[in-house]
Structure formats: structure tokens, C-alpha cells
Amino acid sequence: MSVRLLVMDGGSTDGTPDIVRRLSNQGVPVRCEHNPKRLQSAAVNLAVRQWGQDADVLVRCDAHAEYPRGFVRLLIDTLDRTGADSVVVPMDSEGQSCFQKAVAWVSDTRVGSGGSAHRGGRRSGFVDHGHHAAFRMASYRRAGGYDETFTHNEDAELDCRQRAMGSRIYLDADIRLLYRPRDTVNRLWRQYFNYGRGRSRTVRRHPGSMRLRQLAVPLHIGLCLLCMALSVWLPWLILWPATYLAALAAASVQLAIRHRSACGLAGGLAAGVMHTAWALGFLGGLVSVREPRWSVPVHAGSELGAKTGS
């Protein structure tokens, strides 16, 4: 098996190009390429265009994560064993600072992720979406690659196109990576606001892709805001947001007990930030961003990474 390693750098300031150069000089088959668009979607497409002409499999590895030994081999074995066109994997979150630990712990619970299969899930099988790990290059090209107009949720949007074109996506729960979430409230808010905004585009481009657990979040936050506004005249309406806050507090206590750490008490705050930011991003995106419905193009995959709206 021949493996080609590419690091797509969008202008990092942590010495990444120097590290790659040093590894290359030591005989490691890796090279660093500049990603002028500074987006994950553009980085992967650029790698495919420049270096993937004769490749059979594309493996995507993101920053802020640790990967298991033999990651590439395990993914290829799963592709061959299942006949899938794409393999996705679960993320087990972990943190270093107190708040980051709280974010990690709550992210892998139903309170934080709504039971998403690739957030700490333990069951393998064919799914609609998951954390991207490997693609059959033919499937990736046929779907047109990532849409580079997406800064967030580009993975879920691509999965919608892959499935529409007959590709199958397999979640292998035995191949797990460690993910480090954002470590401040401001960074977490920005991340989830952008997640929600990206999902608003995906759901309009691909009607029917929205899941009930996702729809529940903006509906709930919208109802909380409405209840608080109307509670001036109908005080009993404050019970809805009060119950929500009580549930977050209970989740915090449960996390603190389970992990035997006071850091768990910040779990409710983290979950509240994730819910509210995602919902506001989603609702704001519905109002402010136009998005046409997508349909399978006549010449599918002819322009890798091109804008796919129709």
C-alpha cells in the first residue's frame, strides 16, 4: 500500500511548515502545501486536484485531534470489508483546562449532542452522516467534492450529495479519535453559531436532511425567548426557561459526580452556550442567507469542488 501524506496549511503560526520540512528531511513521505482559502473544504479539494489523480482512497485528518495507530490501514480495511464508499468515525472528546474538560464531557452526552452517533457512539453501521475519515476517491469525485462556499457543515452537505448519488456511508465505532473542543466560552460560541448557520444552508439545499434532535434546538431556544418576553404579562410562562436551566444544572452536577471533578459543574454552561449559539446561527442563517435547492447534476463530479447549488 502506497501512502502519500499532505499537510494543507492555511497560514498557521505554530511552525507547522517547519515541522513538516524537518520530517521530510528525515525521510518521512510528507509535504506541506499552502491553502490560500484557509478553509477545510478548500484544503481537501486542493489536495485532491493537485495530488490525488492516481489515488484510490482519500483520508481526511483534521487538527485539534489525536488519531489511533494504524488509522489509514484500519479505514481501508473497513472500506474493503463493508463495501462502503465512505467511512466515518466517532469522536471521543477530552480537555485540558477545566472549561475544556466540561465541554468535552457534556459533548459526549445526549444533553450536548442529542445522541449523535459520531459523538461518543458505540454502534457501527451504515449512517446518513458522521465525522469524515475516508472516501473512495471515485465517490468523492462523483459527488463533486466539498462545496468551498461552506465554512462549516461542509461534511454533512457533502454526505447529502453522496447519498443522493447512491454512495453508502459506514460508521466504524471501533476506529476512534480523540478530539479537543474549544477552550473558552467565546470560541465555543463562535464555533456553534457557525455550525448552526452552516446547517441552515444544508437543510434548505437538501430538504429532508434535518433530524428531529436538530430541529428541537432552535424551536426550544425560540420558545424560551418568547416565554421570557411574554412572562411580563403571563408570569407562569417563565416555567419553560426555568425548567431548562434546572435541567442544565442537573446535568452539571451529574457530570461532576461521574468524573469526580468540580470542572463538571461548568458542563451546563457549556451545553447552554452550544444550544443557544447553534439555534441563533441556524435561525439567523434562515433569514439572512439565500440557498437554492440542490439536484443531481447531469454531469456529476465534472467540476470537483465547484459550487453545487442549482
Q: Estimate the crossing angle of helix 212-230 against helix 267-288, to 10 degrees.
A: 90
Amino acid 304: pLDDT:
62
Q: List average pLDDT for each run of 10 residues in the chain, which is 310 residues long.
A: 87 89 92 92 94 92 90 96 96 94 92 73 89 95 94 94 95 94 96 95 90 86 96 96 97 96 97 96 91 80 47
Q: What is the pLDDT of residue 117?
A: 66
Confidence (pLDDT) at 300 = 58
Residues forming beta bridges with residue 93, ordered by sequence position: 179
What is the gyration radius of the CA atoms in the chain, in angstroms?
A: 21
Report the 10 Å Cβ neighbour count for 260: 8
Cβ neighbours, 10 Å, residue 180:
17
pTM of the model: 0.88
Amino acid at 202: T
Q: How many helices (H) and strands (E) does the chain have?
A: 11, 10
Retrieve residue 65's grid coordinates: 485531534
166 burial level (CB within 10 Å; 0-12, 13-18, 19+): exposed
- For residue 53, what pLDDT is reported? 84
